[in-house]
Amino acid sequence: MKTAMTELFGIRYPLMLPGMSWISTPELVAAVSNAGGLGILASGPLNPQQTREAIARIRELTDKPFGIGVTLLMPGADDNAKVALQEKVPVINFSLGKGDWIVREAHTYGGKVIATVVSEKHARSAEKIGADALLVTGHEAAAHGGDVTSLVLIPAISRAVKIPVIATGGFGNGEGLLAALTLGASGIAMGSRFATSSDSPLHQKTKEAIVAKNESETIYSKNFDGIHARVMKTPAAVKATKRPMNIILAGFKSLKMARVMNLPLWKIMAGVLTQPDKIRMLSQFGAATEKIQAATVSGDLNKGVQFVGQTQGLIHDIVSVETIVQRTMSEALARYEALGTICKSE
């Protein structure tokens, strides 16, 4: 299948693995890229040296295009982005920050840049600074989706910009891929679906919980990590999102983020002090990190909280990335052919 997304990145299928902390590891990134999609490394939990090592590991596992994700809001993200640029990573996906400098540097070596956006305003801004594509995140998405559902957001942004749109939020199978293409996108990102693959490092207990739950068993709240986010509905998640965390308590707990990310404490504090309007959000995010790790790495859903999209209700098995990719493409083709029959003029 050829779309603007496959042509831009030199991949076989218009499918992407987004960067998900503790999930989008080199092994999963390579599995998706080897299967014909575009794997994106999550750099959030990594320091610069670990990021460089992860990039090297991906290159050991695949010769296909891949990328790295950087959440610019977070302390240390700029340094990881600089490592990606130094290593001439083919694709860089930035979010929650100004990425004009990333675009300029990436384009010097022929790299491509994807900007993650949740609104038409941000989409136009990203196009203006030279982003090559947009990862448009609808309300249904895991973690930090927008306020507007993909059914409306994708066509609205597709009509507002000229660069390729990659849809995410509510897409987890072939029917979703075909729907996204119909709405104006050039491909889809399937975070929750790839996270629940047998190649994913997500804990087996958490994978099984995703398979067991339906599409309505998620919570969308800003009380968990300071930004509106969607998580799996569990007793721990209900408790964690019931009310905002005390800012002082969150501030103390956020110190754990420095250890988790292997960053010097001064770097965390510098990030907070230079962005005083974001102190609460950064503190909450740091405090939430421990709970995310508990669910994602340890499979503890009694204490941990798992980011997951409403596509949870579309995931019914745990299979390989290769199977997911081939199944998705077969489903899309079958649905396309079926629609051709339905829409045929009498």
Q: How many CA atoms lie within 13 A of 200 on its CB side?
A: 31
Of 6, 60, 72, nearest to 30 by C-alpha is: 60
Using DSSP bridges, classify how beta strands 218-221 and 229-232 pair: parallel, antiparallel or unpaired.
Answer: antiparallel
Per the CB < 8 A criterion, the answer to whether 195 and 42 are in contact is no
Enter the tokens of residue 93.
């996906």
Q: So where are the chain's domains?
A: 4-201, 205-296
Q: How many CA atoms lie within 13 A of 343 on its CB side?
A: 6
Per-residue pLDDT at 78: 96
Question: Alpha-carbon distance 41 to 62, whole Å?
Answer: 13
Indicate the CATH number of 4-201 among 3.20.20.70, 3.40.50.620, 3.40.50.740, 3.40.640.10: 3.20.20.70
Per the CB < 8 A criterion, the answer to whether 40 and 24 are in contact is yes
Question: Alpha-carbon distance 107 to 23, whole Å?
Answer: 28
Per-residue pLDDT at 341: 75
pLDDT tens, N- to C-terminus, the chain (346 residues): 899 999 999 999 999 999 999 999 999 999 999 999 999 999 999 999 999 999 999 999 999 999 999 999 888 899 999 999 999 999 999 999 999 999 999 999 999 999 999 999 999 999 999 999 999 999 999 988 989 999 999 999 999 999 999 999 999 999 999 999 999 999 999 999 999 999 999 999 999 999 999 999 999 998 887 788 999 999 999 998 886 554 444 444 444 555 545 555 555 555 555 554 555 556 666 668 889 999 999 999 999 999 999 999 999 999 999 999 999 999 999 999 998 777 765 5
